[in-house]
Amino acid sequence: MATRMTVTRFAPSPTGRLHVGNIRTALHNWMYAKGNGGRFLLRIDDTDAERSEEHFVDAIRADLAWLGMEPDGEVRQSARFALYESRFAALVAAGRIYPAYETAQELDLKRKVLLGRGLPPVYDRAALRLSEAERAALEAQGIRPHWRFKLDHDAPIRWDDAVRGPQSFDPATMSDPVIRRADGSWLYMLPSAIDDIDMGVTQVVRGEDHVSNTALQLQMFDAMGATPPGFAHAALLTGAEGKLSKRLGSLGVDHFREVGLEAQSVRALLARIGTSDPVEPVADMAPLIATFDFARFGRAPARFDEAELAQLNARIVHQLPFEAVADRLPAGMGAAEWDAVRPNLSTVGEAADWWGVIEGPVDAEIAGEDRAYLAEAAAAAAAIDWTGDPWHALTDRLKGTSGRKGKALFLPLRLALTGRAHGPDMGQLLPLIGQARAVARLGAAAG
């Protein structure tokens, strides 16, 4: 039997920027598609003309590009109304969609009455019991209906969720979902199912806030005669403190870029949190894609911790080869300089600081008692052979002449040469500073 090519889709509504929660959903879809030799599609859910904004569509594309998750295709719901219309007409003709005329206030009252009696607030299908004449009378008053999808109550709705395992819903406990408003506009539910069929989506990957929607949409797939895709509902994301935090809703690509993070760090963290696999500083997605498996996802919320992301970023930066960062380094900075400073970086951007240290000028605060020692060091730096390992040549010589050792030997040199008490290995840094600048800096520090 020929197996269908894997197709996933990421379906954001362009009503805001992507935040870390939906970036994670996009990543899951992207990884699953890549891991199965499939296609990752972007679907812009813009049926809500009022809330959708074009600049958010552009931002979503740009964010995915920065994240290195460019889609293999894109569709927009706003360009597909004709398709929705024809599927809608067929479902109305088949009796699976029906008009309802209650106002929001009436529905609210019905809900309150049921809740007051301790009953679940399920829609009572009063609209289905209207006679032809009653409907005509309502329409004659200018009341236009909204539309509900009629659930089949005969059997439980079941599916085997790739993350959550076997799921079962009793449709009799669910209201027939409103799928279209009185003004003709679409709610999310039916267009999404139509598109998933039409786009050949084989695996729907989304957050667990959609689990009950899936129960409803499974009946829609069935009503349209389609084989439903597989479903994977990942547990939601929480902040480091374990709560749903407001901050998560505003953390997105802009912020990651601003603080100088690598897209790979964001991917490496989001690929693993909420799974039984550890977060690892992998500089390349291949091993993460190879081990990606919904069966390894936990049911507990995944914790997103910015501090963990920053640490992971540093560990990934420490592995990046010069070629991967060359276009983001200051002009003139080469592979030797990158290799020397890389272990000290939290972000690639910080390389510019060390380039400044190498190039100078540096400003060092030197204690009075170290000045004579540094004058001695300046003379030694002028005298030693710089072709091999000048740092060892310099410190070996000074050990003998000054009688200093340990911190007293090294720290004043580091301060005078770099203006800082900490930093990259001096053995690597000193040749890059070079003899002329080193002699001058030591001399200046000697006062």
- Residues lying near ligand GLU in the complex (CB under 6 A): 11-13, 45, 188, 192, 206, 210
Would you say 246 is a known binding-site residue? yes
Residue 433 Cβ, how far from ligand GLU at the closest point, in Å? 53
Residue 244 Cβ, how far from ligand GLU at the closest point, in Å? 16
C-alpha 337: how far from its chain's center? 32
Residue 213 Cβ, how far from ligand GLU at the closest point, in Å? 7
Residue 342 Cβ, how far from ligand GLU at the closest point, in Å? 39
Q: Is 37 left (phi over 0), alpha (psi -120 to 50) or beta?
A: left
Residue 51 Cβ, how far from ligand GLU at the closest point, in Å? 11
- Whose Cβ is closer to ligand GLU: residue 83's or residue 130's? 83
- Whose Cβ is closer to ligand GLU: residue 167's or residue 192's? 192
- Whose Cβ is closer to ligand GLU: residue 192's or residue 275's? 192
Q: Which residues pair with 303 in a beta bridge?
A: 238
Burial-class residue 56 by CB neighbours within 10 Å (0-12, 13-18, 19+).
buried
Q: Take residue 23 and report the two structure tokens written for it.
A: 């970036």
Residue 124 Cβ, how far from ligand GLU at the closest point, in Å? 28
Q: Hey, what's the torsion of the CAs at 147, 153, 156, 161, to 10 degrees?
A: -10
Q: Return the residue matching tokens 């003004």.
A: 183
Supply the DSSP string of 75-116, one letter for each residue: EEGGG-HHHHHHHHHHHHHTTSEEEE---HHHHHHHHHHHHH
Residue number of the CB closest to ligand GLU reads 45
Q: Return the residue matching tokens 């679409």.
A: 186
Yes or no: say if 252 and 225 are a contact pair by the CB < 8 Å rule. Answer: no
Supply the DSSP string of 153-222, one letter for each residue: -SS-EEEEETTTEEEEE-GGGSPPPEEE-TTSPBPSHHHHHHHHHHTT--EEEEEGGGHHHHHHHHHHHH
CA distance 293 to 29: 12
List b or e across 38-55, with b for residues whose CB sees 16 or more CB atoms inside 10 angstroms: bbbbbbbbbbbeeebeee
Burial-class residue 246 by CB neighbours within 10 Å (0-12, 13-18, 19+).
exposed
Residue 10 Cβ, how far from ligand GLU at the closest point, in Å? 7
- Whose Cβ is closer to ligand GLU: residue 102's or residue 208's? 208
- Whose Cβ is closer to ligand GLU: residue 13's or residue 78's? 13
Which residue in 320, 332, 321 sits closest to 261, CA to CA? 320
- Whose Cβ is closer to ligand GLU: residue 87's or residue 414's? 87
Residue 62 Cβ, how far from ligand GLU at the closest point, in Å? 18
Which residue in 232, 235, 236, 237 sits closest to 167, CA to CA? 232
- Whose Cβ is closer to ligand GLU: residue 162's or residue 446's? 162
- Whose Cβ is closer to ligand GLU: residue 42's or residue 269's? 42
- Whose Cβ is closer to ligand GLU: residue 215's or residue 325's? 215
Supply the DSSP string of 13-38, one letter for each residue: -SSS---HHHHHHHHHHHHHHHHTT-
Residue 91 Cβ, how far from ligand GLU at the closest point, in Å? 19
The conformation of residue 238, written as its DSSP 8-state character, comes to E
Q: Which residues pair with 165 in a beta bridge?
A: 161
Annotated binding site for ATP: 246
Annotated binding site: 246
